[in-house]
Amino acid sequence: MDAKPDVDGRRVCAELDKLATFSDADPPDVTRVLFTQQDLAARAYLKGLFAEAGLTIRQDAVGNLFARWPGTEAELPAVATGSHTDAIPHSGRYDGTVGVLGALEAIRALARTGLRPRRSIELIMFTSEEPTRFGLGCLGSRLLTGSLDPQKAGQLVDFEGQSLEQVRSDAGLEGAMASVRLPAGAYSAFVELHIEQGPILEQEGLDIGIVTAIAAPATLRVTLRGAGGHAGATLMPGRRDAFLAAAEIALAAERAALESGSADAVATTGFCRIHPGAVNSIPSRAVLEIDVRDIRLGVRDRMVTEIRRAAQEVAGRREVTLTIDTLNADPPAECDPSIVAVVRAACAGRGVSSMPMVSRAYHDSLFMARIAPTGMIFIPCRGGISHRPDEFASPEAIERGVGVLAETLYRLASQ
């Protein structure tokens, strides 16, 4: 391109710091769960920034937020970019947010050049990429891309028994959930900037990861119902302790990953709740949520099968009732070779080093790839750490990533 967009990395970091203050945890921890007061306050802050940048703002019925910088031929399908700003309990300030505030700075930097590409560029802040509240991640991008039935989405319930339909209405969102789905051909391309959430770029001393494929998790919710009772007065024989069954199943999930034969295979029991949860009462109910991943669908599905088999064996032996709900089991996605090529050219244009890589974490890109040619730009994060308060990406890394994103968006919007 003719004039290099001049990216202000410090400004992005200042905005990331400000965004981190919208949180239900004490700093440095960040907790920002869908449609809580803090999430709504964060959304208001972002809308203010988008408006200040002169972007055209739209919000859909599930809270996906769109901010458009019009191109000279505004009737053409736009180039889209974006990520999410919700944060799992006690996590950090870079996951998702870099792809939203970074995209905003990319658009501002492009606008500052005085050039204006043919296609509009649209920034999307996706609703609830994290599965924290409703057990299912990527709510916004699933609905946008027709990957989730709008009626089923509305009926999802959180742990307090509130439906998504209810909480989005309480958040002031109107219109039918079915209206969220984008028309075919809405975007000519989608590109997401994100921290790597892994150690490879740091280890290799490289600036940018150009994502070629995105792994997808299968998520199982395992519910065990046994028999409660007084911890002192109920003797061991004949107990039907739901938590002990859950403990065995969590260990079986770990074993399924370790024995899968794939170095990429992971299985994590990140959620466990037991009822009634009193020290002197035998657990009558336990709920686990297990996240299972591999880059290869076949390996992942074999792990899921093994976890289900083990759960059934444990439940039968311990005489507890077992229910397994598949919360999601999406296939992995390939990034579009044409987008990969543009990102590579943008890296070369900016003079930054890069390597192709796969994303072990999933992202809204997983679903956007179903409706538009999609690519992802990764930047290094310290120690590969993510989903923790000590998650960190340097201002320099962020600035380089935003520069590559700006150049990529400009090239795509000029096509």
Among positions 230, 261, 298, 351, the unique one binding its own copies when judged by CB under 8 A: 230
Please state, as a whole number, how many other Cβ atoms lie within 10 Å of the Cβ of residue 86: 31
Lookup: tokens for 179 = 């209206």
**Of residues 289-318, those binding its own copies (CB under 8 A):** 289-291, 293
Residue 263 · residue 360 · CB < 8 Å: no
Report how far residue 411's alpha carbon sits from residue 353's, in angstroms, rounded to the nearest whole number. 19
Q: Is 88 in the site for its own copies (CB under 8 A)?
A: yes
Residue closer to its own copies by CB (options 121, 244) is 244
Q: What is the footprint of its own copies within residues 3-62 (CB under 8 A)?
A: none
Q: Could you tell me how many residues of this chain bind its own copies (CB under 8 A)?
A: 69
Question: Which is it for strands 374-379 and 187-195: parallel, antiparallel or unpaired?
Answer: parallel
Distance CA 127, CA 114 (A): 32
Contact 218, 383 (CB under 8 A): no
CA 55 remoteness from chain centre: 24
Query: Which helix (H) or strand (E) segment is 274 a member of?
Result: strand 266-275
Phi (first) and psi of residue 137, to 5 degrees: -85, 170
Q: Any contact of residue 283 with its own copies (CB under 8 A)? A: yes
The single residue among 8, 24, 158, 254 that binds its own copies, judged by CB under 8 A, is 254
Q: Which of 233, 261, 298, 351 binds its own copies (CB under 8 A)?
A: 233
Choose which of 124, 257, 335, 372 interacts with its own copies (CB under 8 A): 257
Among 244, 340, 342, 366, binds its own copies (CB under 8 A): 244
How is residue 258 written in tokens?
């370790």
Q: Which is nearer to its own copies, 53 or 200 (CB)?
A: 200
**Position among 79, 104, 246, 402 found at the interface with its own copies (CB under 8 A):** 246
Stretch that binds its own copies, among 46-54, 173-181, 242-250, 347-355 (CB under 8 A): 242-250
Closer residue to its own copies in complex, CB, 192/196: 196
- Cα(223)–Cα(382) distance, integer angstroms: 36
Is residue 217 part of the contact set for its own copies (CB under 8 A)? yes
Beta carbon of residue 387, minimum distance to its own copies (angstroms, whole number): 4
Q: What is the CA radius of gyration of the chain?
A: 22
Contact residues for 12 (Cβ-Cβ < 8 A; gap 6+):
98, 101, 102, 105, 395, 398, 399, 402
278: tokens are 């009193």
64 dihedral zone (left: phi>0; alpha: psi -120 to 50; beta)? beta
Distance in Å, CB of 243 to its own copies, minimum = 6
Binders in 95-154 for its own copies, by CB under 8 A: 130-132, 135, 137
Q: Shortest gap between Cβ of 291 and its own copies (angstroms)?
A: 5
Is omega for the bond preceding 89 within 30 degrees of 0, making it cis? no
By the rule CB under 8 A, 362 interacts with its own copies: yes
Binding mask 176-215 for its own copies (x = CB under 8 A): --------------------xxx----------------x
229 binds its own copies (CB under 8 A): yes
**Judged by CB under 8 A, which of 173, 282, 333, 346 binds its own copies?**
282
x/- site string to its own copies, residues 367 to 386, per CB under 8 A? -----------------xxx
Cα–Cα distance between 43 and 31 in angstroms, integer?
14
Among 111, 186, 247, 310, binds its own copies (CB under 8 A): 247
Query: Would you tell me how many other CB atoms lie within 10 Å of the CB of residue 279?
Result: 5
As a whole number of angstroms, the distance between CA 205 and CA 279 comes to: 50
Listed ranges 8-16, 113-121, 355-363, 396-404: which one lies at the site for its own copies (CB under 8 A): 355-363
CB of 229 to its own copies, least distance (A): 6
Token reading at 218: 């299968």
CB 32 within 8 A of CB 87: yes
Q: By CB under 8 A, is residue 344 in contact with its own copies?
A: no
Which residues of this chain interact with its own copies, rule CB under 8 A? 88-91, 130-132, 135, 137, 196-198, 215, 217, 219, 228-236, 241, 243-244, 246-248, 250-251, 254, 257-258, 263-272, 274-284, 289-291, 293, 327, 360-362, 384-388
